[in-house]
């Protein structure tokens, strides 16, 4: 029987609650389709700091590298906000991305017809939205040196090398070829040197993709255009910090940040995680939406394990659950028939897979 080793990193806050639901869904779908998944759990984030004094022990990196794919929940929490940078939960995640060479973060944004009324945006604006944010993940201002805060003056540095821009641009153009053949590269080239290099390099890569229409947009305009007319976008190609911000903004078209999955690729192993964080304001209450994580597990099956049938079954089950009106509280403002907990939502999705 086909079998795969999955590194599981539950993390902090709602991380364990949502990853548990995803694993239970994977159990049902793998049995149904006929393959085996084995899991090894690793520590990262605040929980790792508490247990072993570092937000990412070496064995988390080694175990992830040795796996067929990594399934991750979320890290962070108020408790660890004032730690020195190297000890913060977020540093663990950034180190893992860097060590695994995950320079491309793909964040698809689609609107479920069933949830069109759940969004804070108007139905006629968001109906049919289907875009992909291709976010550079291991460079830019997140990683640039020098960086410093001496209490009187603080600075970070936004750095991109040409080769970093070339490789993320290729991911965006390759993605566009499989979708709507449009790339909108988002930068701040009217102000930043690094964006001028970004723009020139993206133009060069575009020459290899004559079928793809390339446009450029300044990030402030892009933030506005995303809520004015999101259907104009197919693939949004952008750097680390702009992609972080624009993808949270874009998530509200779908109705909740609890719906958006992501895959991080570029190295030998892919990492799959929801785009949201550890939601400390609702952690432990059993009300977090597990769908972003379950969809991340589906992306893992599709893109890292090539178990396309199983991924399709998960996606369909989620659609059916939403169609029948099941909603976690983040989506329950409008048209909820049944307001359910994290585990009840997982249970409904599993039942739909079993019945399929």
Of the listed 12, 187, 234, 244, which one is catalytic?
244
Exposure of 116 in the CB half-sphere (CA atoms within 13 A): 11
Phi and psi based region of residue 45 (left: phi greater than 0; alpha: psi -120 to 50; beta: remaining): left
Which residue is catalytic, options 68, 130, 174, 248? 248
Residue 309: φ, ψ to 5°:
-60, -45
Q: Which of 220, 229, 334, 337 is catalytic?
A: 220
Q: Which of 251, 277, 223, 211 is nearest to 73 (CA)?
A: 277
Question: For residues 214 and 237, which CB has a smaller minimum distance to Mn ion in the complex?
Answer: 237
Q: Shortest approach of ligand NAD to residue 264 CB, angstroms? A: 10
- 139 counts as binding ligand IPM under rule CB under 6 A: no
Least distance in Å: CB of 93 to ligand IPM?
5
> Does residue 244 touch ligand IPM according to CB under 6 A?
yes
The pairing of strands 213-218 and 35-41 is unpaired
Using rule CB under 6 A, residue 278 touches ligand NAD: yes
Task: Give residues 248-277 in contact with ligand NAD (rule: CB under 6 A).
Answer: 257-258, 273, 276-277
CA separation for the pair 214, 220 (Å, rounded)? 18
Cα–Cα dist 168/17, whole Å: 32
Indicate if 68 belongs to the active site.
no
Q: Tell me the DSSP string of 209-274.
A: -TTSEEEEEEHHHHHHHHHH-GGG-SEEEE-HHHHHHHHHHHHHHHT-GGG-EEEEESSSSEEEEE
**142 part of the active site:** yes
Is position 292 an interface residue for ligand NAD (rule: CB under 6 A)?
yes
Q: From residue 312 to residue 341, what is the string marking binding to ligand NAD with x (rule CB under 6 A)?
A: ------------------x-----------
Instruction: Report the 10 Å Cβ neighbour count for 169.
Output: 25
Q: Give the number of residues in contact with Mn ion, rule: CB under 5 A.
A: 1
Number of shown-chain residues binding ligand IPM (CB under 6 A): 7
In the chain the first and final C-alpha atoms are separated, in Å, by 22
Q: Return the residue of 20, 21, 114, 244 that touches Mn ion, per CB under 5 A.
A: 244
248 is catalytic: yes
- Any catalytic annotation for residue 244? yes
Provide the minimum distance between the beta carbon of 78 and ligand IPM in the complex, in angstroms, as a whole number. Answer: 14
How far is Cα 133 from Cα 234, in angstroms, rounded to an integer?
A: 9
Classify the C-alpha dihedral 19-21-22-26 as positive or negative: positive
Query: Helices 58-65 & 89-99, crossing angle to 10 degrees?
Result: 40
Query: What six digits make up the tokens of 56?
Result: 């990412």
**Cβ atoms within 10 A of the Cβ of 118, count?**
21
User: What mask of x and - would describe binding to ligand IPM in positions 81 to 110, judged by CB under 6 A?
Assistant: ---------x--xx----------------
Verify binding: residue 90, Mn ion, rule CB under 5 A.
no
Kindly state the smallest distance separating residue 94's Cβ from ligand IPM, in Å. Answer: 6
Q: Which of 24/181 has CB closer to ligand NAD?
A: 24
Total binding residues for ligand NAD by CB under 6 A? Answer: 21
Instruction: State the catalytic residues.
Output: 142, 188, 220, 244, 248
Q: Using CB under 6 A as the criterion, which residues of the chain lie in contact with ligand NAD when the complex forms? A: 14, 74-77, 90, 93, 257-258, 273, 276-282, 288-289, 292, 330
Q: Using CB under 6 A as the criterion, which residues of the chain lie in contact with ligand IPM when the complex forms? A: 76, 90, 93-94, 244, 275, 277
Q: Using CB under 5 A as the criterion, which residues of the chain lie in contact with Mn ion when the complex forms? A: 244
């Amino acid at each position: 029987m086909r079998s795969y080793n999955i590194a599981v990193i539950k993390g902090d806050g709602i991380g364990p609650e949502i990853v548990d639901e995803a694993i239970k869904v994977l159990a049902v779908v793998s049995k149904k389709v006929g393959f085996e998944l084995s899991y090894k759990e690793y520590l990262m984030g605040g929980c790792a700091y508490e247990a072993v004094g570092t937000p990412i022990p070496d064995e988390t990196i080694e175990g992830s590298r040795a796996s067929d794919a990594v399934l991750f929940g979320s890290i962070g929490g108020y408790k660890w906000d004032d730690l020195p940078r190297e000890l913060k939960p977020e540093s663990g995640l950034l180190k893992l991305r860097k060590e695994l060479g995950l320079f491309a973060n793909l964040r698809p944004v689609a609107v479920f017809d069933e949830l069109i009324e759940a969004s804070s945006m108007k139905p006629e604006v968001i109906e049919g939205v289907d875009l992909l944010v291709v976010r550079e993940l291991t460079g830019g201002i997140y990683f640039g040196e020098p960086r410093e805060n001496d209490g009187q003056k603080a600075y970070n540095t936004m750095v991109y090398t040409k080769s970093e821009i070339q490789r993320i641009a290729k991911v965006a153009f390759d993605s566009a070829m499989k979708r709507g053949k449009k790339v909108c590269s988002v930068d701040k080239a009217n102000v930043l040197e690094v964006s001028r290099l970004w723009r020139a390099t993206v133009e060069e890569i575009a020459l290899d993709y004559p079928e793809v229409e390339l446009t450029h947009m300044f990030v402030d305009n892009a933030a506005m255009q995303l809520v004015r007319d999101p259907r104009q976008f197919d693939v949004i190609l952008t750097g680390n910090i702009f992609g972080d911000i624009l993808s949270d903004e874009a998530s509200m078209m779908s109705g909740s940040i609890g719906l958006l999955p992501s895959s991080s690729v570029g190295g030998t192993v892919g990492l799959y995680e929801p785009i949201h964080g550890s939601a400390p304001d609702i952690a432990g209450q059993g009300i977090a939406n597990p769908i972003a994580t379950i969809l991340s597990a589906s992306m893992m099956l599709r893109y890292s394990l090539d178990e396309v049938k199983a991924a399709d079954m998960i996606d369909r089950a989620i659609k059916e659950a939403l169609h029948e009106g099941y909603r976690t509280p983040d989506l329950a403002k409008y048209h909820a028939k049944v307001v359910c907990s994290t585990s009840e939502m997982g249970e409904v999705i599993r039942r739909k897979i079993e019945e399929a």
